[in-house]
């Protein structure tokens, strides 16, 4: 019984941690005019932030990476689905 209780507490703590990260990301993406995703795997926090930004009416930009890199798959997915690629960092930096 005690082992079961510890397992439930462990799950609850991890769930609260995940929810707090999403809440923080929602605040950050809401404060920004745009979100630039530089590197993202297929399932990553960067994609969660990008989707939050879209839901808040913010621009999302993605930097394409090597086609063979697993860490670039999320960026390629964003570009393919609906976002603009940034060919270099220069256009994204205000002057």
The position carrying tokens 């605040």 is 27
- Within 8 A by CB and 6+ apart from 56, the residues are 26, 29, 30
The position carrying tokens 């707090």 is 20
> Does the pLDDT of residue 43 top 80, yes or no?
yes
pTM for the structure as a whole: 0.64
The position carrying tokens 């079961």 is 4
**The pLDDT of residue 9:** 72
> Does the pLDDT of residue 24 top 60, yes or no?
yes
The position carrying tokens 């999403």 is 22
Helices 73-81, 45-55: inter-axial angle, 10-degree rounding: 20
For the segment 24-39, the average pLDDT, to the nearest whole number, is 85
Cβ–Cβ < 8 Å for 52, 29:
yes
* Residue 92 CB-half CA count within 13 A: 17
Name the E strands within the chain: 34-37, 59-62, 84-85
**The pLDDT of residue 31:** 84
For the segment 71-85, the average pLDDT, to the nearest whole number, is 80
Q: What is the mean pLDDT of the chain?
A: 77
């Amino acid at each position: 019984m005690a082992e079961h209780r510890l397992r439930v507490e462990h799950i609850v703590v991890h769930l609260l941690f995940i929810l707090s990260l999403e809440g923080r990301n929602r605040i950050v993406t809401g404060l920004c005019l745009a979100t630039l995703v530089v590197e993202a795997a297929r399932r990553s926090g960067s994609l969660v932030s990008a989707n939050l930004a879209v839901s808040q009416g913010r621009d999302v930009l993605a930097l394409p990476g090597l086609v063979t890199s697993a860490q670039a798959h999320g960026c390629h997915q964003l570009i393919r689905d609906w976002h603009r690629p940034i060919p270099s960092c220069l256009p994204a930096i205000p002057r």
